[in-house]
Chain A
Amino acid sequence: MQKKKTFLIAMSYIALLLIAIFAVFPLVYAFMIGTKNPVDAFSIPFRWIYTPTFENFKTLWIERGFTFYLKNTVVVTVSSVLISVPLATLAAYGLLRHESKLSNNALNFMLGFRMFPQMLLAIPYFLLATKWGLADTYIILILIIVAANQPFAIWLMRGFLVGVPKELDEAAKIDGCNMVQTVTRIILPVSLPGISTASIFTFLLSYNEYLFALILTQKRAMTLPVAIGQYGAEDLSYWTLSAAGVVSIVIPVCLVMIFLQKYLVKGLTAGAVKG
């Protein structure tokens, strides 16, 4: 019996290790192409061992001006996080404390907004943006991401705020805090883990956004995913360069995953798993 169990555990480790390799292999492959010179990249058979070069990154970022798209991505992402997360936190708090059937249903229904097909939104965004002169600007992208992020962020913050006891509010009231002071002095500090988690998810949503940026931006506000998706489709002789681009866009996400994994897991499970 004991032997059987040890065997089972050993097999689990081996299986998980293989799965982990399968999961990261495409990224490792992209990294290898991105750090090869074209001769190595196009050699047959595949060269597993080669002298790595960072020339591609230098060319892509400095000569090909990808820093411009990075700047756009940073502006859109940072603004989206700064606007979206406070809105969602307040909304989740207000709806939870309102404690009526209406606000409960509103919270429950939040996830339903996720089913809106992006194309159904993209067409009116395109028409309205053109009409109001907002096409190819940061403002329209930020607005869209802030709103599109609300349902998930509210759902997530609700998962965290459910754990904040109502007595805390009442204690604050007795100490003479008004509603706004209660939120800023009492609720915000205790929900900081939730706010960090919501911020990371908003960052990822905004950073990875593709369709709206593809439709609504051209020259001035194009973001990294669109630039890289299109650059890769060009001539194959740019292969190593676009691989460097793919690696660059994936690196920040890898860093988030390595250092903030706890928050990512908590964020996905906060609203779902009780206790």
Chain B
Amino acid sequence: MTKKNRYLLFALPSFLAIVCVMLFPVGYAIYYSFFNYNLGDKATFTGLLNYIEIFRDPKFLQAVMFSTKFTVVVVIAQFIVGLGIALLMDNIIHWKKPLSILIYLPYFITAAAAGVIFRWMFMAQWGIVSQLCSLVGLTSPNWFDSPIWAQVLVVLAEVWQNTPFAVIILYAGLQSLSMERIEAAKIDGANPWQVFRHVKLANMRHLILLIFMMRIMDSFRLFDRISVMTNGGPAESTQTLAIYNYTISFSMLRIGQGCAVGVLTLIILAIPVFFLMKGMRSAEVD
């Protein structure tokens, strides 16, 4: 072994962990996605039957649609709100630390606990939001009995919890811009909008792509917070692909089909991630 290759030995334990505990199970799942396998029964090879059955299930298509819409809405909202907050923080000098501790806090807390709190806040009658509504004379809807409101609330909870990620990254990006570049643009006659668009945003391109990539990955496969908040209801209106998959696999015990849903989730997710990674690489070269 050459001296240089000995460095690879350092990576070996970690590499083994990834292969054994991530790649091997995924392979195992892909394998079983071609089997008719209900928990407790014997597995029989059925080719693509699981996939065909899933595509015939309107609930699957509904879950794909919901996960996609959810991801698009929350990721755009998190980016816009996050950029706004980062720009505000870039304006101020004092109290940065206490303010940022409070603003960043939701991102780090247990998502399941956040789900429980949001369920309480919008509980009929006793929930604080319902109470505030009646205080100003509004009759609050039965939040979690209405499909539209339930969807709005899971979006709200996701934006509340994960916007700080965008803030942290964008604020660090704004801080790392040199004052000289901004001043130079101003001397060249750029107005504030042009400075923002062509200096600040343009220099944070790879950070923006990173935010989109990480947030798309996490929100498209979201399980815990929604599971605790609505468990996919009412009438499957907030059922993400992960919750649909959980029901198929662990309530109906159709393991083979569950694996196929997982494989499809990965394939759908790989498309935007591929393009974002490519974009990030070219943004880094610039």
A contacts, CB < 8 Å to B: 8-9, 12-13, 15-17, 19-24, 26-27, 29-30, 33, 41-42, 44-46, 87-88, 90-91, 93-95, 97-100, 103, 106, 108, 111-128, 143-144, 146-148, 150-151, 154, 179, 183, 204, 207-208, 210-211, 215, 225-226, 228-229, 232-233, 239, 242-243, 246, 249-250, 253-254, 256-258, 261, 264-265, 268-269, 272-275
Contact = CB atoms under 8 A, between A and B. Distances in A.
Interface of B: 4-11, 13-15, 17-18, 20-22, 25-26, 28-29, 32, 85, 88-89, 91-92, 95, 97, 99-106, 108-121, 125-126, 128, 131-132, 135, 160, 164-165, 168-169, 172-173, 176, 206-207, 210, 213-214, 217-218, 221, 223-224, 227-228, 241-242, 245-246, 249-250, 255, 258-259, 261-263, 265-266, 269-270, 273, 277, 281
Given A29-B120, A116-B22, A119-B242, A229 B135 contact: no
Contact of A9 (B5, B11, B92, B131): B92
A123 B176 contact: no
Contacts of B111: 208, 210
The 5 residue pairs across chains A and B that have the minimum distance between CB atoms: A94-B10, A120-B262, A147-B21, A91-B14, A124-B25
Contacts, number: 284
Contact of B4 (A98, A120, A150, A257): A98
26 contacts: A9-B91, A16-B89, A23-B102, A23-B160, A24-B106, A26-B121, A44-B131, A87-B13, A88-B14, A94-B9, A95-B10, A117-B221, A117-B265, A119-B223, A120-B26, A148-B22, A210-B112, A211-B242, A225-B224, A229-B115, A229-B227, A242-B116, A253-B108, A261-B104, A268-B169, A273-B207
Contacts of A111: 213-214, 277
A264 B262 contact: no
A128 B168 CA distance: 39
A119 B242 CA distance: 6
Nearest to B211: A272
A45 to B, nearest CB: 6
A233 B125 CA distance: 17
A110 B259 CA distance: 23
A258 B203 CA distance: 31
Nearest to A151: B18
A261 B101 contact: yes
B255 A118 contact: no
B165 A268 contact: yes
Contacts of B221: 115, 117-119
A115 B269 contact: yes
Overall SS of chain A's interface: helix
Contact of A17 (B99, B214, B218): B99
Contact of A147 (B18, B113, B273): B18
Contacts of A215: 250
A95 B266 CA distance: 27
Residue picked from A16, A93, A100, A274, most chain B C-beta under 10 Å: A16
Nearest to B263: A120
Given A128-B28, A274-B176, A19 B116 contact: no
A233 B228 contact: yes
A98 B15 CA distance: 15
A125 B20 CA distance: 11
Nearest to B15: A91
Given A88-B14, A144-B21, A127 B108 contact: no
B99 A33 contact: no
Contact of B259 (A29, A90, A99, A123): A123
Given A9-B91, A30-B120, A115 B22 contact: no
A127 B32 CA distance: 11
A98 B266 contact: no
Given A123-B249, A147-B22, A225-B113, 10 more contacts: A22-B160, A24-B106, A26-B160, A90-B13, A98-B7, A113-B18, A115-B270, A179-B6, A211-B242, A269-B168
